[in-house]
Chain A
Amino acid sequence: MSENAEIIAARPSGAATGVGNGRFGRSLVGGLVTALPVVVIGFAILAFAPAYYTHLALAAFVNLIVVVGLQVFMGNSNIANLGHSAFVGIGAYGVAVLSTPLAMKQLSIPNAPFGLALVELNPLVAALLALCVVAIIAAISGKIISRLSGVAATIVSLALLIIVHSVFLNWTDLFKGNQAFFGIPKVINLPAMLVASVVVIVIARLFKDSRWGLQLRASAQSPQAAAAFGIDARRLRLVAWVLSALICGLAGVLFAYFAGTISPKLFYFQQIFMTLAMLILGGMATVTGAVTGVIVLSIGLEFIRSIESGVTIAGIQLPQLLGLSGVALGVVIVLCMAFRPGGISGRLELDEQLSRLFRRNAR
């Protein structure tokens, strides 16, 4: 859609804007189509892959949810978010603190404040509470960030990451600091993760195609025109930020529940680099891009990591090449930005690309 058409379509003039069942339905279908590759891969792994791959797949799915969450904010507001791992961490540590069995807690965090050492909640309840905490912190940080210009907002998102990480690292009574927080109930398996991924993808699509998503993108492209139409860009950015945070928080919750053990450095720059590279490679503008980027880079990184730890080629033992995967990630980002800033999937979602293909063949 041309830029002006998008803005006009997004005007907040009530029922007449065409937000009817038609658009919702199309978006829903679109989301499911976008999620299809994920489902297929998931089933393939369930059916055929040995246990080792299941573990890898779970990690990849967590990344998928994080990247989709990142896309919800970055893709629609065009502002670089470098702090999303903070919310992943809050989700993970939230359920860790709330649902770890009491026996474990006595060992790890006996001096936890607010009597949390004596609390053990049902995993679902713990998850919901953790997500509430995520929502609150997202609302506060979002209010600040939505007021700032693009660059300042990005840097504050970094500040948020560092603050949260610092709290995890230093509030040892509650979070065990640098040491791994173990004993979290492992209640998530691959089918559950698959379902969660699909749900998150659909939500992301629904938001993107909703009036809010359209208006947000319009105001990112031409702030003056959008403001002239009465679009409140700040509030929209806040909504996108909170939604993005919740999705990332969910990823953290799921990660904690499948890995059983977490530590602060998991939710710091390593994850930021990786998920950012995945989103950029796949294409920031679309949910399909998020999915694509995760798939491509997960496979690519596995390959590189095997070389990193020293592989034997033709009988020659190659040395450990620590940092190779980092270099690869960085190079991916730089090359993408220089030659294909739109990423692999560009501006069109999977269902949109497919329907274009069919239309062209039908002629």
Chain B
Amino acid sequence: MDYALQQLLNALAFGAEYSLVALGLAVVFSIMGLVNFAHGEIIGVSAYSVFLAAALGLTSPIVAVLLAVAAAALAAVTFERVAFRPVRYAPTTTGLLTAFGVSIVVQNLFMLLISPKPQSVSILNGLNQMWFFGPFAVSSLQVMELVVSGLTILALVLFLNKSTLGLAIRAASRDFATVRLMGIRANRVIATAFAISGALAGIAAVFILARRGSVSPDLGFGLVLKAFVACVIGGFGSLAGAAAGGMLLGFIEVGLLVALPQEYGGFKDALTYVIIVALLVYRPEGLLGQRVELGDKEI
């Protein structure tokens, strides 16, 4: 029972992390059709910012957390302004490849300007402790991940449903031109979406740093690939789909970890992807996606 509970918690925690990252991707994709491959590097910028701040003498974990989120949001908005704006109205493939290019540049800049080797970051280690509730030992980090993710998603939902800018973002996912006809500035809508996307990534970065205690140039890359896959199984472009896909991915991964015998552990990633692809075969539009036929009328 103990073991099962622990694994459930694992699955939830990983799922929450994937959901956060996947949501960040989905927010941007839903309004601009941009597949932001550079999202992982936003996580990287966030993590390296904490590393640099710690190297410069920062000791407060709280400030580190705030810095991580702020740096990520800033990085996201900057990427948009510098690299994505010129290709804003270009076809999806162009945007995707641009983002891929940005990802390559930034990863290599980390290698060039800091170091290709992992750097230790211990400032957030305090978040990763064991808490004891009677006979149960629980990782504080996992509990925090769940709570924070839940609150963040709640905040996001509130923002998207109650604030004008949030409504504008939702409207823009269907009809950007008409949003402009309301007098709402396109740049503001897009910058806000990217800032949200960045903030979500920053929160994920905090958890990753707390768990790993180190940062490396490819920190975000592998995670973002999985997040993309989560978006796709959830139904690309749908925010709920991204969150659901992320959770599902967490459960699949932990499930595989539990089910696979030790010597095949290395295949966990490959098998995860195989399962995802199988899901896609069964349901190409994703779990929560809608099958769009050519020529469908907009509902």
Contacts and interface: CB of A to CB of B under 8 A. Distances in A.
Interface string B78-115: 00000100110011111111101111111111111000
B104 A152 contact: no
Interface in B266-299: 266-267, 269-270, 273-274, 276-277, 280-281, 284, 286, 294-295
A158 B92 CA distance: 17
A80 B96 contact: yes
A49 interface: no
Chief secondary structure at chain A's binding surface: helix
B284 A227 contact: no
B218 to A, nearest CB: 9
B225 A158 contact: yes
Nearest to B109: A327
A144 B266 contact: no
B29 to A, nearest CB: 8
A136 to B, nearest CB: 16
A331 interface: yes
Interface string B105-133: 11111111000100000000000000000
A152 B10 CA distance: 28
A158 B83 CA distance: 23
Contacts of B105: 326-327, 330-331, 334
B102 A334 contact: yes
A79 B110 CA distance: 29
Contacts of B83: 334, 338
A278 to B, nearest CB: 13
A78 B97 contact: no
A144 B280 contact: yes
A147 B277 CA distance: 12
A109 interface: no
A162 B295 contact: no
A23 to B, nearest CB: 28
Contacts of A321: 112
B101 A333 contact: yes
Nearest to A284: B93
Contacts of A152: 232, 236, 280, 284, 286
B228 interface: yes
B167 to A, nearest CB: 25
A323 B109 contact: yes
A341 B101 CA distance: 13
A261 B239 CA distance: 46
A331 B90 CA distance: 18
Interface in A160-192: 160, 162-163, 166-167, 169-170
B229 A159 contact: yes
Interface string A319-352: 0011111110111111001110100000000000
B123 to A, nearest CB: 25
B35 interface: yes
A166 B111 contact: no
Given A150-B93, A224-B294, A276 B100 contact: yes
A258 B70 CA distance: 50
Contacts of A333: 97-98, 100-101, 104
Contacts of A144: 277, 280-281
A322 B98 CA distance: 22
Contacts of A169: 266
A344 to B, nearest CB: 15
A137 interface: no
B108 A341 contact: no
B37 to A, nearest CB: 9
A224 B295 contact: yes
A234 to B, nearest CB: 11
Contacts of A332: 101
B172 to A, nearest CB: 18
Max chain A C-beta neighbours (<10 A), residue from B91, B229, B286: B229
A159 B277 contact: yes
Contact of B116 (A159, A322, A325, A329): A322
Nearest to B101: A333
Nearest to B268: A166
A163 B274 contact: yes
A151 B83 CA distance: 20
Interface in B130-181: none
B276 A159 contact: yes
B266 A331 contact: no
A60 B159 CA distance: 52
B98 A227 contact: no
Interface string A72-85: 00000011101000
Contact of A330 (B101, B217, B221, B295): B101
A170 B270 contact: yes
B93 A166 contact: no
A155 interface: yes
A175 to B, nearest CB: 12
Contact of A154 (B86, B96, B107): B96
A90 to B, nearest CB: 14
Given A150-B93, A327-B109, 13 more contacts: A78-B91, A78-B93, A144-B277, A152-B284, A155-B231, A156-B280, A158-B229, A162-B269, A323-B108, A324-B108, A337-B86, A341-B87, A341-B90
30 contacts: A148-B280, A151-B96, A154-B35, A154-B96, A155-B229, A158-B228, A158-B229, A159-B276, A160-B273, A160-B277, A167-B267, A170-B267, A269-B221, A276-B97, A277-B101, A322-B111, A323-B109, A324-B112, A325-B108, A327-B108, A327-B112, A329-B101, A330-B102, A330-B104, A333-B97, A333-B101, A334-B101, A334-B105, A338-B86, A339-B86
For the complex of A and B, list the 8 residue pairs with the smallest distance between their C-beta atoms, beginning with the closest.
A333-B101, A326-B108, A330-B105, A330-B104, A323-B111, A170-B266, A166-B270, A323-B112
